A and B are shown apart, each in its own frame.
Chain A
Amino acid sequence: MDHPHDQWNEESLRKGLYAHDEAALEEVSRRYGRLLYGLAYRILGSALDAEECVNEALLDLWNAVPPDRPKGVLAYVSALVRRRAVDRVRYKTASRRGGEDYEGSLEELSECLSDPEGYSSLETVAIRDCLQRFLRTLSEEDRTVFTLRYFACMSNEDVGKACGLRESAVVMRLVRMRKKLKAVLEDDGITV
Chain B
Amino acid sequence: MKTDQEKLWDAVGMLDGETVQTAMTRAARMQATHTTRRANLRRIVILIAACLILLIAGAFVASPFMTADAPPPLDTPSPTDTAEQPTDTPPVTEDESREPVYVSGDFSTDIYDVTEEDGVCYLNFKDGNRIEEGENKYPSQELASIGFSSMDEMYRRLKTGDLTPQQIYVVKNTFTHTEKGIIFPNVNHLLIPVLPDGCFADYVTVIDDVYSVDFHVPDHTFSGGASIRDEGQYRALYEKNYTNVYDNDNLMDITLSTGEFDGIPCEIGDYQTKAASLRNVRFTLETEGKTLSILVHYCLDSYRGNIPESDTCPQSISIYCEQEGKFATMYLSDFQFAPTVEWLSSFGLTPYVPSADSDLPTE
Contact = CB atoms under 8 A, between A and B. Distances in A.
Contacts of B21: 71-72, 74-75
A90 B6 CA distance: 9
A72 B17 contact: yes
A131 B11 contact: yes
Given A79-B13, A110-B5, A168-B202, A152 B150 contact: no
B199 to A, nearest CB: 10
Interface stretch (A19-27, A45-53, A56-64, A114-122): A114-122
A151 B142 contact: no
Contacts of A139: 141-142
B26 interface: yes
Interface in B21-48: 21-31, 34
Given A35-B28, A169-B149, A172-B214, A120 B4 contact: yes
A127 B28 contact: no
Interface in B306-355: 306
B10 interface: yes
A147 B15 contact: yes
B13 A158 contact: no
A183 to B, nearest CB: 13
Interface string A115-153: 111111011110110111001111110011001101110
A161 B34 contact: yes
Given A106-B9, A132-B15, A148 B23 contact: yes
Contacts of A125: 11, 14
Given A106-B5, A117-B5, A72 B18 contact: yes
A14 B19 CA distance: 18
Contacts of A127: 7-8, 11
Interface centre among B12, B26, B30 (most CB of A within 10 A): B12
A119 B26 contact: no
B7 A117 contact: no
A154 interface: yes
Contacts of B18: 71-72, 75
Contacts, number: 161
Nearest to B9: A106
Nearest to A129: B11
A75 B20 contact: yes
A18 interface: no
Interface in A82-97: 82-83, 86, 90
A192 interface: yes
Interface string A151-172: 1101000100111011011011
B352 to A, nearest CB: 17
Interface residues of A, number: 67
B27 A154 contact: yes
A110 B30 CA distance: 28
Contact of B10 (A86, A113, A169): A86
Contact of B4 (A70, A72, A113, A175): A113
Given A124-B11, A132-B16, A166 B149 contact: yes
B304 to A, nearest CB: 8
Contacts of A147: 15, 19-20, 22-24
Given A79-B14, A171-B216, A172-B216, A74 B19 contact: no
A109 B4 contact: no
Contacts of A136: 140
10 contacts: A35-B28, A79-B14, A109-B5, A110-B8, A112-B8, A118-B4, A119-B3, A143-B23, A162-B26, A191-B4
Given A74-B20, A119-B4, A154-B27, 14 more contacts: A34-B31, A35-B24, A74-B24, A79-B14, A110-B5, A116-B3, A120-B4, A124-B7, A128-B14, A143-B23, A147-B22, A147-B24, A148-B26, A165-B149
Interface of B: 1-31, 34, 140-142, 149-150, 200, 202-203, 214, 216, 223, 304, 306
